[in-house]
Chains A and B, each alone.
Chain A
């Protein structure tokens, strides 16, 4: 396997859900790459399918009602979707781990922090066939607490979650994800539940850790400002497919898909130049999605072309937009 192949590569991933209203085709062929040592963002509004994508990658999607109907998820050269369940479980939480959004609900309130962290070490040791005693496990936990810049690790080891602030709890969640020295970190809206100042500190910490430990990061968020600050490459999702993907700086300088443009226009700006146009209409019903481009009923540029689904056209090297406006002939 060549080392320049992406660590994670999702190809034409399609996921459907069986619902009372019929089959909901939620993911409609998602393509996504996380190259080694890079920070990648997946951004979109509620209901766009970013969490389903993340859960499918992590293998935590409930099946049924969901069903992966097509596609590949290559992690370090192996397809996660076809490998035996036992092997996939070994990868989950060790080579790839997850940072959850809400620090209040992802820690168990009745166990001490150190106890919960040690549990993770014990279980993954067992899966990997390693034997470590309590002292060695505790040493690893204290080491990780120091990594996430929590001074006074001994005290935090013995603390209950309720005795810690939101920012400290979020650091512990990050620490838990780092316990097994993962290569890929998947972060779901980290810090969104916190104040801006604390969120800022958490994002800086994650950024430092990703660099120091040479991790690859896939960050899922609805906040365009966070994506701009934290990632090298961005995927914008709308209604179950990636509508635009681009190097981060390029996306913000030169947004190309009408949805990305409209979304950026909605974000309140610090210079006071907000427009309140919003985006008319609402997200389509996944059991009866519009034909062709799923954004066309809300798009100001829609034409008859849009009834056919557009492929991802290259706008510039490394920057694609799934919109007929960017079809090469159209510009000629």
Chain B
């Protein structure tokens, strides 16, 4: 397993729930609950799921914006769980946020925005001008943009600046949190093309967080689907989109609006998911998906399912893959 750039081992994040005058802790919210994930060098791994599934919390722990409650993070073969927020680690892992309008300081020119990481990480100031020029070239913006301010840029251009800023310290992994969801599709296509080209040129790895499953299908090498803080299914893009096994993944895929008959044929035919994701403060017993699952049977209420390896690359956390349990139960019909 030493070939992996990043390894998450049973990573968890618990937020305390406080109440009353003295802000006493009255309970906990398990936002992320024992996530195992690996990202290889040059690999794009996607995390999908509804709001509240914990995908952004995973991203925030990796870049050090949140401290994990439990579990370890290994980077390039070395346990970095204790150094997640440190400068040395942040040089190797960078993040691009969803809304470039609010992640760029309106009073800083593009050049100033790009200088911040260079200064913080101690890059000699004599090389800054040259670095900024090459960074802008990397994200396909003209060198004259260095003097512009965010309000002079379109949404796509702002996101390119945010990507250039992440690249400034030559990281090995970039966490992309919904990098294109604020953009129009015609702009999104260009930004995605840029990200793919940079990945190839610099041999970068991406952790890609998105709720746009069609985009995930095209952009990611491997995809994990999260539900209430746990991975429900993990596999290559082909595994997940051509052979989805977990009822939640099937439900998600069935609800995507698509633009052609060919795509319609790829959508699972299962019934649509009912209801909404429960609160992570009050996780259902047994399988946490059972309250919305069209196949739920008795065992789902009592026993939490484990990951079942379906192939070398594909695993799903569902009792239906366990012949001993699934054989005995008739799926309940609603």
Q: Check if A and B associate.
A: yes
Which A residues contact B (CB, under 8 angstroms)? 45-46, 165-167, 195-201, 203-204, 222-226, 228-229, 252, 262-264, 266-279, 282
The answer on a CB contact under 8 Å between B218 and A262 is no
Is B290 in the interface zone, CB < 8 Å from A? no
Q: Which 4 A-B pairs have the closest CB atoms?
A: A225-B257, A276-B193, A200-B255, A278-B189
A197 to B241, CA, bound (A): 16
A201 to B185, CA, bound (A): 23
Which B residues contact A (CB, under 8 angstroms)? 50-51, 154, 156, 184-190, 192-193, 196, 211-215, 217-219, 237-238, 241, 251-260, 262-263, 266-267, 272-274, 276-277
Chain B residues lying within 8 Å of A278, measured Cβ to Cβ, are 186-190, 193
The answer on a CB contact under 8 Å between B193 and A225 is no
A271 to B259, CA, bound (A): 11
Most chain A CB neighbours (cut-off 10 Å) among B154, B189, B193: B189
The answer on a CB contact under 8 Å between A266 and B186 is yes
The answer on a CB contact under 8 Å between B252 and A196 is yes
The answer on a CB contact under 8 Å between A195 and B214 is no
* 4 other A-B residue contacts (CB within 8 Å) besides A225-B257, A228-B259, A268-B188: A200-B257, A252-B259, A270-B266, A278-B193
Chain A residues lying within 8 Å of B196, measured Cβ to Cβ, are 276
Distance in angstroms from B334 CB to nearest chain A CB is: 15
A282 to B253, CA, bound (A): 32
Question: Known contacts being A268-B218, A270-B263, A274-B218, is A279 close to B255, with CB within 8 Å?
Answer: no
A176 to B203, CA, bound (A): 52
Question: Known contacts being A196-B256, A198-B276, is A268 close to B215, with CB within 8 Å?
Answer: yes
Question: Known contacts being A268-B212, A272-B217, A282-B154, is A263 close to B185, with CB within 8 Å?
Answer: yes
Task: Name the one of A203, A226, A269 contacting B218, with C-beta atoms under 8 angstroms.
Answer: A269
Distance in angstroms from B154 CB to nearest chain A CB is: 6
The answer on a CB contact under 8 Å between A269 and B214 is yes
The answer on a CB contact under 8 Å between A271 and B184 is no
Q: Closest residue to A201 on the B side, CB-wise?
A: B272
The answer on a CB contact under 8 Å between B188 and A266 is yes
Task: Name the one of B50, B51, B241 contacting A270, with C-beta atoms under 8 angstroms.
Answer: B241
Distance in angstroms from B161 CB to nearest chain A CB is: 16
The answer on a CB contact under 8 Å between A45 and B257 is no
17 sampled A-B residue pairs with Cβ under 8 A = A45-B186, A46-B184, A197-B251, A198-B276, A203-B257, A252-B260, A262-B186, A268-B188, A268-B217, A268-B218, A270-B213, A270-B241, A270-B253, A270-B266, A271-B263, A272-B218, A274-B215
Distance in angstroms from B132 CB to nearest chain A CB is: 23
A12 to B294, CA, bound (A): 50
A270 to B256, CA, bound (A): 9
Q: Closest residue to B194 on the A side, CB-wise?
A: A276
Most chain A CB neighbours (cut-off 10 Å) among B211, B237, B276: B276
The answer on a CB contact under 8 Å between A226 and B211 is no
Chain A residues lying within 8 Å of B260, measured Cβ to Cβ, are 252, 269
Question: Known contacts being A267-B214, A274-B218, is A197 close to B255, with CB within 8 Å?
Answer: yes
Distance in angstroms from B237 CB to nearest chain A CB is: 7
Q: Closest residue to B272 on the A side, CB-wise?
A: A200
Distance in angstroms from A314 CB to nearest chain B CB is: 24
Chain B residues lying within 8 Å of A277, measured Cβ to Cβ, are 189, 193
The answer on a CB contact under 8 Å between A195 and B50 is yes
Task: Name the one of A45, A262, A270 contacting B217, with C-beta atoms under 8 angstroms.
Answer: A270
A262 to B267, CA, bound (A): 24
The answer on a CB contact under 8 Å between A276 and B186 is no
Task: Name the one of A197, A223, A252, A266 contacting B273, with C-beta atoms under 8 angstroms.
Answer: A197
Distance in angstroms from A273 CB to nearest chain B CB is: 8
The answer on a CB contact under 8 Å between A197 and B184 is no
Distance in angstroms from A233 CB to nearest chain B CB is: 16
A23 to B50, CA, bound (A): 44
Chain A residues lying within 8 Å of B262, measured Cβ to Cβ, are 269, 271
Q: Closest residue to A203 on the B side, CB-wise?
A: B257
A196 to B181, CA, bound (A): 13
The answer on a CB contact under 8 Å between A276 and B192 is yes
The answer on a CB contact under 8 Å between B189 and A228 is no
The answer on a CB contact under 8 Å between B241 and A196 is no
The answer on a CB contact under 8 Å between B276 and A196 is no
A270 to B214, CA, bound (A): 5
Distance in angstroms from A53 CB to nearest chain B CB is: 17
Chain B residues lying within 8 Å of A282, measured Cβ to Cβ, are 154, 156
Q: Closest residue to A225 on the B side, CB-wise?
A: B257
Question: Known contacts being A197-B50, A199-B255, is A269 close to B187, with CB within 8 Å?
Answer: no
Distance in angstroms from B197 CB to nearest chain A CB is: 9
Chain B residues lying within 8 Å of A196, measured Cβ to Cβ, are 50, 211, 213, 252, 255-256
Chain A residues lying within 8 Å of B218, measured Cβ to Cβ, are 268-269, 272-274
